[in-house]
């Protein structure tokens, strides 16, 4: 069991639900754009948000951003430890330090002392692409080993200065390197692990790469908080993270959308209906299992075990709740709205009863 760390009241480790994170891709000094994106991430279930703090203008923006959001904020720091000190003074909930480019023991010590005084944790985040050249050479070119050694060096400095509220992440673009590094660090420390495959790619390829790497680690019980790193809209990262966690039975959050792959028997635009349902239900946080089926072969069996279902016919479909039809055959252009209406009804009843995983 990993020890527990609190990030703005959100628990990580020690049996807490695996926490979903993302990172803004706005210029942090643009307060309006950054706040808007953080709020959008929060609406789709993001539980911790990280922002890039690349200069003093970003540091100066942090207090105003913090006033306008209700999700823990992490300051992502590289190269200059003074930015970390500024972010702490601004009131962030957590720091991320890169041991590949902040290596001076005295500088790390100053950050540790300031973070201790502020009562915030530090994530030691080693990336395969930003390792110190000397560390990589000392490990004979093994990226996984170099990430472990780089992180351990910084962890030991933090510990010497009393810091024990630490989260560790070791991320590479290669799945097997990332898996190997996390297995190794898990043997060395009991701090919570933030896992991810960094720079995984565009949404389709990146989601597959991330699912491969994170799925292995999560199945092995490694990982207390995750980010699915995808190029583009960070909201997709959050949706992908929950889909992955749902598939492993680790979180029950939002709609679990089951859609048949379609074949020649499908006579409705099932993909278009499914996309409309997914977008329309994107901000529903209560867990609702939804099965959208194109025909009568597997349809009746799937909707019987779903909370909301659809079985398609010839340019029509019937909507179900808990296996019971709630409509007659509806025309195709009304099906998405009818399914969404039932999803919202189920979600509202669950919200009243407090059934959501959160």
Residues with Cβ within 8 Å of 82's Cβ and at least 6 positions away in sequence, in order, are none
SS3 (DSSP) at 298: coil
- How much is the CA Rg of the chain, to the nearest whole Å? 23
Cβ 171 vs Cβ 193: under 8 Å: no
Amino acid 36: pLDDT: 98
Cβ 50 vs Cβ 121: under 8 Å: no
Amino acid 236: pLDDT: 95
**Mean pLDDT for the stretch of residues 350-354:** 84
Second CATH level (architecture) for the domain 5-247: Alpha-Beta Barrel (3.20)
Sorting pLDDT into bands at 50, 70 and 90, what band is 135? Answer: confident
- Which uninterrupted H or E stretch holds 19? strand 19-23
Instruction: Give the chain's mean pLDDT.
Output: 95
Name the residue among 224, 173, 168, 232 with its Cα closest to residue 198.
Answer: 173
Sorting pLDDT into bands at 50, 70 and 90, what band is 24? Answer: very high
DSSP secondary structure letter of residue 129: G
Tens of pLDDT, residues 157-170: 999 999 999 999 99
Name the residue among 320, 308, 314, 306 with its Cα closest to residue 332.
Answer: 314
Task: Quote the percentage of the chain above a pLDDT of 90.
Answer: 91
pLDDT of residue 8 exceeding 60, the answer is: yes
**Domains 5-247 and 255-353 equal at CATH topology level:** no
CA distance 277 to 357: 21
Query: Angle at Cα 331 formed by Cα 328 and Cα 336, nearest 5°?
Result: 95
Tens of pLDDT, residues 219-270: 999 999 999 999 999 999 999 999 999 999 999 999 999 999 999 999 999 9
Say if pTM beats, i.e. exceeds, 0.85.
yes
- Which uninterrupted H or E stretch holds 169? strand 166-171
Query: How is the chain split into domains, by residue range?
Result: 5-247, 255-353
Task: Quote the percentage of the chain above a pLDDT of 70.
Answer: 99
- Which uninterrupted H or E stretch holds 215? helix 203-219
Residues with Cβ within 8 Å of 329's Cβ and at least 6 positions away in sequence, in order, are 313, 316, 317, 318
Tokens standing for residue 58: 């970003």
Amino acid 1: pLDDT: 79
Domain range 255-353, CATH class: alpha beta
Report CA dihedral (344, 346, 350, 353) to the nearest 10 degrees: 110
Sorting pLDDT into bands at 50, 70 and 90, what band is 355? Answer: low
Length of the chain: 358
Name the residue among 240, 167, 161, 146 with its Cα closest to residue 197.
Answer: 240
CA distance 211 to 136: 27
pLDDT of residue 65 exceeding 70, the answer is: yes
- Which uninterrupted H or E stretch holds 146? helix 143-160
Cβ 239 vs Cβ 43: under 8 Å: no
Residues with Cβ within 8 Å of 27's Cβ and at least 6 positions away in sequence, in order, are 33, 34, 58
Amino acid 153: pLDDT: 95
Amino acid 356: pLDDT: 54
Tens of pLDDT, residues 172-216: 999 999 999 999 999 999 999 999 999 878 999 999 999 999 999
């Amino acid at each position: 069991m990993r020890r527990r760390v609190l990030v703005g009241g959100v628990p990580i480790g020690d049996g807490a639900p695996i926490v979903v994170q993302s990172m803004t891709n706005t210029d942090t000094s643009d307060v309006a754009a950054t706040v808007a994106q953080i709020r959008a991430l929060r609406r789709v279930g993001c539980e911790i948000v990280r922002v890039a703090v690349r200069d003093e203008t970003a540091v100066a923006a942090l207090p105003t951003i913090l006033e306008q959001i209700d999700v823990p904020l992490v300051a992502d720091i590289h190269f200059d430890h003074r930015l970390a000190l500024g972010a702490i003074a601004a009131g962030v909930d957590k720091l991320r330090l890169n041991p590949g480019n902040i290596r001076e023991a005295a500088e790390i010590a100053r950050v540790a002392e300031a973070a201790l005084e502020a009562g915030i944790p530090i994530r030691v985040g080693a990336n395969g692409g930003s390792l110190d050249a000397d560390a990589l050479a000392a490990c004979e070119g093994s990226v996984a080993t170099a990430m472990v050694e780089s992180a351990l060096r910084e962890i030991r400095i933090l510990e010497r200065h009393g810091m024990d509220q630490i989260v560790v992440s070791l991320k590479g673009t290669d799945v097997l390197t990332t898996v190997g590094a996390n297995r190794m660090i898990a043997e060395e420390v009991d701090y919570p692990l933030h896992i991810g495959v960094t720079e995984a790619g565009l949404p389709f390829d990146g989601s597959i790469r991330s699912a491969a790497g994170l799925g292995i680690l999560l199945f092995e019980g490694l990982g207390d908080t995750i980010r699915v790193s995808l190029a583009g809209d960070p909201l997709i990262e959050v949706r992908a993270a929950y889909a992955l966690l749902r598939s492993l039975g680790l979180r029950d959050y939002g709609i679990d959308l089951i859609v048949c792959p379609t074949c020649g028997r499908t006579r409705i635009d099932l993909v278009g209906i499914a996309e409309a349902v997914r977008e329309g239900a994107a901000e529903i946080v209560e867990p609702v299992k939804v099965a959208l089926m194109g025909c009568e072969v597997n349809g009746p069996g799937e909707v019987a075990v779903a909370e909301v279902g659809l079985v398609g016919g010839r340019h029509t479909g019937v909507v179900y709740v808990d296996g019971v039809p709630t409509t007659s055959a509806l025309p195709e252009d009304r099906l998405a709205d009818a399914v969404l209406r039932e999803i919202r009804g189920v979600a509202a009843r669950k919200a009243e009863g407090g059934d959501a995983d959160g």
